[in-house]
Amino acid sequence: MMRPGRGLTNDSSERKRVVAGRALVLAAHGSGDESATNDLARATADRLHQSGRFDEVTAAFHLGEPSFRNVLDGLSCSDVVVVPLMTSEGFYYDTLPAALTCNDRFEKLRVRLTRPVGTSDRLHDLVAARCAELIRRFDLAPAESAVIVVGHGTTRHRRSRQAAWDLAASLARANVAARIEAGFLDDAPRIEALAPQDDGLARLDWIVVPFLIGGGRHASVDVGARLGLNGNSHAAPSLHNDNGRNIVIDAPVGCYPELPDVITAMAEEVAA
Residue by residue, DSSP assigns 243-271 as TTEEEEEPPPGGG-TTHHHHHHHHHHHHH
Residue 97 CB-density burial (10 A; 0-12 exposed, 13-18 middle, 19+ buried): middle
| Category of 256 on φ-ψ map: left (φ > 0), alpha (ψ -120 to 50) or beta | beta
| Number of CB atoms found within 10 A of residue 123's CB | 25
| Ordered per-residue pLDDT tens for the chain, 272 residues | 454 554 433 333 333 355 568 999 999 988 766 577 799 999 999 999 999 999 999 999 999 999 999 999 999 999 999 999 999 988 889 999 999 999 999 999 999 999 999 999 999 999 999 999 999 999 999 999 999 999 987 666 667 789 999 999 999 999 999 999 999 988 889 998 887 767 789 899 999 999 998 765 655 568 888 888 865 556 789 999 988 899 999 999 999 999 999 999 999 999 87
pLDDT at 159: 74
Evaluate whether 153 touches 200 at the Cβ level (below 8 Å): no
CATH fold group of domain 19-118+257-271: Rossmann fold (3.40.50)
Give pTM, 2 decimals: 0.87
Angle at 255 between CA 249 and CA 256, to 5 degrees: 90
b/e map of 175-204 (b: 16 or more CB within 10 Å)? ebbbbbbbbbbebeeebeebbeeeeebeeb
Order the strands of the 77-84 sheet from edge to edge.
56-63, 19-30, 77-84, 110-113
Domain spans, the chain? 19-118+257-271, 120-254
Architecture of domain 120-254: 3-Layer(aba) Sandwich (3.40)
Count Cα atoms within 13 angstroms, Cβ side, for 269.
15
Beta-ladder partners of 238: 249
Fold agreement between 19-118+257-271 and 120-254: yes
